[in-house]
Structure 1
Amino acid sequence: MIRKSGIPAAIWILGFVSLLMDISSEMIHSLLPLFLVTGLSSSALTIGLIEGAAEATALIVKVFSGVLSDWVGRRKELALLGYGLGAASKPLFALATSIDLIIVARLADRVGKGIRGAPRDALVADLAPPHLRGAAFGLRQSLDTVGAFAGPLLAVGLMLLFANDFRLVFWVATIPAVLSVLLLAAGIREPARPAGEGRGNPITRQNLRRLKPEYWAVVGIGAVFTLARFSEAFLVLRAQQAGIALAAVPLVMVVMNVVYALSAYPIGRLSDRVSHRALLAVGLGLLILADLVLASSTAWPVLLAGVAVWGLHMGMTQGLLAAMVADTAPPDLRGTAFGFFNLTSGVALLFASGIAGLLWDRFGPEATFLLGAVFAGVALVVLLSSHLSRLERQA
């Protein structure tokens, strides 16, 4: 079934699946840095390493799930497994009394994300008409990000209602996660694989040669982008320094994700018609601005302005990079292509978040955000000075 927008209904359903899981995840993640600092006496370096390792794990696991989805010719079952593991990890946060169980829960949650990520993105690419691929990825990202700001909003309300009881909020977060799994199981029918497409090993030398330089250019620029953007847990820690009520701190994630959600779909549609390189350059410029604003002050209006610009950067770049991977990879290798793309981004994120936490502990938050601006500036220079015409969408 095709909606009037031309985007298949299944992509809308995948968007709502992502929305529900993100509500659950962000209810927890918007509070987790505060829980670690106030409840478990963790340092910024510890938080940075946990967040970097968790997100890197998710991105690295995507390699294997993406390859497997190409090999067996099925995407939905792997996505279900990943969403199911994510839902199963949520109660562990509520049960945790030490940093060890938090690490187990965070890694299990991100393994689930890694398992589902590449097959789901490949499924979006399989379902979307080629001329609407940017819009389809933008729509899924927008719905996903609606969940990412609804989650912190619910967390704020429940923290006020439950008198700052972190664990009770974590228990409530399991509900939308379970609903997400049920919607995916009942609402998506995977399209049949085209006749003649093999199901052999997708990472043979012959198959890897089919991933052209255009694709590897996207992989490289995606890694540089991730290196310039560390974990968003540091946005939450920066907000804590503003001196507002503990329950209100997750509002920074609400602001970021509202802007992210509102911008991802229209920018996705725009990317189907204009230069990808230009949009990436603008996105890096916005990241530099966000880092400089966040380094300058903890005044609440300044902080929210920096977080909003950060969200606009995310909306401008994340769906675009996914669409570029889909555009440059053979259809039967899309799962593998998303997997390798996320592997390089995962390594970059682990490095960036560890360095960010180390700088935060030793030199303060200003140094963390200023270094982020420097990395983003280097990435912008590389993007503008290199011969990256192969990144442009072919008419």
Structure 2
Amino acid sequence: MAKNKALVIITLLGLVSLFADVTYEGARGVTGPFLYTLGATAGFVGLVSGVGELFGYGFRLVAGYVADKTRKYWAITILGYFINLVSVPLLAFAGRWEIASILIVAERFGKAIRTPARDTILSYASSKIGFGKGFGLHEALDQIGAIAGPLIVAGAISTSKSYSNAFLILGIPAAISLIFLLITSAIYPKPERFESEDNKTQNANHFSKTFYLYLLFSAFTICGFPHFQILSFHLKKIQLVSDEVIPLMFAFAMGVDAIVALIIGPIFDRFRSNILFLIPLVSAPISVFAFAFDKILPVMFSIFLWGSTMGLQETIMKSAIADIIHPEKRARAFGIFHGLYGFAWFAGSFVMGLLYEVSIYLLITFSLLLQALSLITFLQLKRT
């Protein structure tokens, strides 16, 4: 019965994420070209995407600490989703890149508020069926929305030739997501009861050396991971594909993400952190195929690798946190992890945006170097 209830809450939260992803992933796939139409430069697009991720991940340090202290997991999750989702349809009324940039950052800020609490709820439920399976199932449902969102946006842009109409349409799934969230919180107000007593016997006094090495490993691989906004900006600049095709590429990446999440979840439950090396290994070639070749096949391969990397990150990175951290400190651990994740993505995106305007090959070198450092750190992590 406990496993069935856990599966229900994971599925319901997956539906919340599904419709939420229709909203913000639908918008996210075109924010690079959208800012371009409003007059932003490549450097500024890199800065906005970096600042967005910095807020989107950095504030999770605070959100995770507050969630652990207050135990108000649902209240914090609901507040975050509201800010996260309302910001997207408001982009329809942004006539300047400055206003659009504020809303893009606000969307990421809302996600920062709700993610540590939401992931902690998921970890409690996943403890009954396996962390890899739980986070993998949630990620797969999540990415169905991430596929549908860009497709909806592509259709809206194709028919109306307007980014504003596309952003307005995304307000519908945003409302549906919030309704599912309120229903889920009403049905399962105390998700922490799912956690087994065996897990609660772990040391709750401090974070281990393994955790800190894991953070360093994550920082290197994320810093060298190119943001999709930079990829889409590049596609727009070189005119390799039309505007409506870019969100279709993002949808393809999200489909790959979902499939990889379902496959890698059970594998993590068997091999645990020994498979973390797959993240930098798959991520390393992305910049080479995306920027060094102005041909559709290499670019599509880079999009495939980008989606695969996202599936690995969202499943096994979170599962590793849940596996090594005591439940009473898990929201803080998620917050610390995501905060560092955001800082690394901010730094990497900003540097890559600047390097793009100097030399594409410098961008590629920077990305490969960081992934190599990540693999070296993994070897040290494995020894612990």
TM over 0.5: yes
Mapped contact 1:146–1:257 kept (Cα < 8 A): yes
Counterpart-to-counterpart distance in 2, 1:268 and 1:328: 16
CA 275–331 in structure 1, closer or farther in 2 if over 3 Å, else same: closer
- After TM superposition, give the deviation of residue 367 of structure 1 in Å: 3.4
How much has 1:291 moved relative to structure 2? 2.3
User: Residue type matched to 2:23 in 1?
Assistant: S
Alignment of 1:171-320 (within 5 A): 171-188=168-185, 189-191=188-190, 193=192, 209-240=205-236, 241-277=238-274, 279-320=275-316
* TM-score (ref. length: structure 1): 0.89
Structure 1 residues 309 and 192, CA gap change in structure 2 (3 angstroms): closer
Deviations 1:220-241 (A, max 9, x none): 2222221121321112123322
Contact 2:290 / 2:302 at 8 angstroms: preserved in 1?
yes
| Residue in structure 2 matched with residue 75 of structure 1 by the alignment | 73
Shift of residue 3, structure 1, vs aligned partner: 6.8
Separation in structure 2 between the aligned mates of residue 91 and residue 239 of structure 1, nearest angstrom: 25
Distance 1:104 1:294 in 2: 28
Cα contact 2:50–2:347 (8 A) shared by 1 = yes
The residue type paired with residue 12 of structure 1 is T
How far is the alpha carbon of 1:208 from its aligned partner? 8.1
The letter of the residue matching 2:268 is S
Which residue of the partner structure matches residue 359 of structure 1? 355
Which of these residues, 329, 334, 338, is aligned with residue 334 of structure 2? 338
Does the Cα contact within 8 Å between 2:226 and 2:349 map onto a contact in 1?
yes
Percentage identity across aligned positions?
Answer: 23
Greater share of helix? 2
Aligned to 1:198: none
Pairwise CA distance, 1:376: 0.9
Q: Aligned partners of 2:376, 2:290: CA distance in 1, in Å? A: 22
Q: 2:48 aligns with which of 45, 50, 71?
A: 50
Q: Is the CA contact (8 Å cut-off) linking 2:64 and 2:332 kept in structure 1?
A: yes
Q: How many angstroms does 1:85 deviate by?
A: 0.8
Aligned to 1:377: 372
Conserved 8 A contact 1:255-1:304: no
**Does the 8 Å contact 1:211/1:330 carry over to 2?**
no
Q: Amino acid of the residue matched to residue 278 of structure 2?
A: V
Aligned length: 373
Matched, 1:115 2:113: yes
Question: Relative to 1, partners in 2 of residues 1:3 and 1:125: Cα closer, same or farther, differing over 3 Å?
Answer: closer
The RMSD of aligned alpha carbons is 2.1
Q: Deviations over 1:229-262 (max 9, x none)?
A: 1321112123322532222122221121111111
| Other-structure match for 1:200 | none
Matches within 5 A, 1:54-203: 54-129=52-127, 132-162=130-160, 164-188=161-185, 189-191=188-190, 193=192
Residues in 2 aligned to 1:160 and 1:382: alpha-carbon distance in whole angstroms: 45
Per-residue deviation, 1:2: 5.9
Cα 1:292–1:71 change in 2 (3 A) is: same
Deviations 1:273-320 (A, max 9, x none): 01523x221221111122222233121122111110221122223311
Closer/same/farther in 2, CA of residues 15 and 99 from structure 1, 3 Å limit: same
* AA aligned opposite 2:35: L
* Paired residue secondary structure (2:40): coil
Instruction: Please tell me whether the aligned partners of residues 18 and 144 of structure 1 are also in contact (alpha carbons under 8 angstroms).
Output: yes
Structure 1 residue 131, shift from structure 2 partner = 5.4
Contact 2:121 2:191 survives alignment (8 Å): no
Say whether the 8 Å CA contact 2:214–2:381 is kept in structure 1.
no
Aligned to 1:32: 31
Distance 2:277 2:240 in 1: 35
1:388 aligns with 2:382: yes
The alignment's TM-score, normalised by the length of structure 2, stands at 0.91
Query: Structure 1 stretch 354-363 or stretch 215-224: which is displaced more?
Result: 215-224
The one-letter code sitting in structure 2 at the alignment partner of 1:82 is G
For the 8 Å contact 2:156–2:166, the answer to whether it is kept is: yes
CA contact under 8 A between 2:29 and 2:228: conserved in structure 1? Answer: no
The alignment partner of 1:297 has SS state of: coil
- Give the CA deviation at 1:165: 0.5
